[in-house]
Amino acid sequence: MFVKLKPNGSGYEKASNAYSSVAYTMLLGEYANNDMFLSKLRALQPELCITAAYGNMLPSKFLKIPPLGAVNIHPSLLPLYRGAAPVQRALQDGVKETGVSLAFNVHALDAGPVIACERLVVDDQVKVCMVLVSQFNYVGSKLLIHELPSIFNGSARVKAQPQDDSKATLAPKITPEESWLCFDQEAEVLHNKVSSGFFSWHNYVVTSHNLSRFVHLQGGQEPELKF
């Protein structure tokens, strides 16, 4: 989402009365270093760019376009779980607490200064990936709206805290191979893998010793076992 301020008025007024004072445009682009994409972005003359669930690093030529910079809503307590699958990896690890971070984008993976964050408890009621993602969307939106005034008036740059890279952990994309469920593993490991949303590949490969079964899962249907 790219936010472009209208002329006149202070940044605080624009942030407080977003619907009447801020013009915004959503521009989709698979690769932010694509020349055509960047040309369209420059034509918009954005003051601020907001990213969420983009999954790739933003190039320097992108970050130089908006005068106020680019801000990312990231579903983890940075520097933990930097990368494309922070929610899934946190659930896979069985964490009891996670959260949402609002951070400036830099030319490094989720490594920019953190403006603000909010913690979320992961209990049995929310220990399902899509439920947790919905909570992140709500909390992240509220966090952004709350911090927009400080971003517009420049105080966010002053208060933003640099991340401790020595404490960083990574959350890489889920691969199809990770849909394997091996019943030789502990029940908690299997439970966390299912809860974390690995089923989004629509297939599990279930193994135990020399037995291997391919389980095809499709919405609203019973599992089909193939030997």
CA distances from 125 to 18, 45, 102, 120, 131 (A): 34, 44, 25, 12, 9
What is the count of structural domains for the chain? 2
87 in the same domain as 31: yes
CA distance 145 to 155: 15
Print the domain residue range for 29.
2-167
180 in the same domain as 158: no
- Kindly report the pTM of this predicted structure: 0.79
pLDDT tens-digit readout, 148-164 = 999 999 999 999 999 99
101 DSSP β-pair partners: 74, 117
**pLDDT range class, residue 206, cuts 50, 70, 90:** low
114 in the same domain as 158: yes
Structure tokens at 226: 């193939």
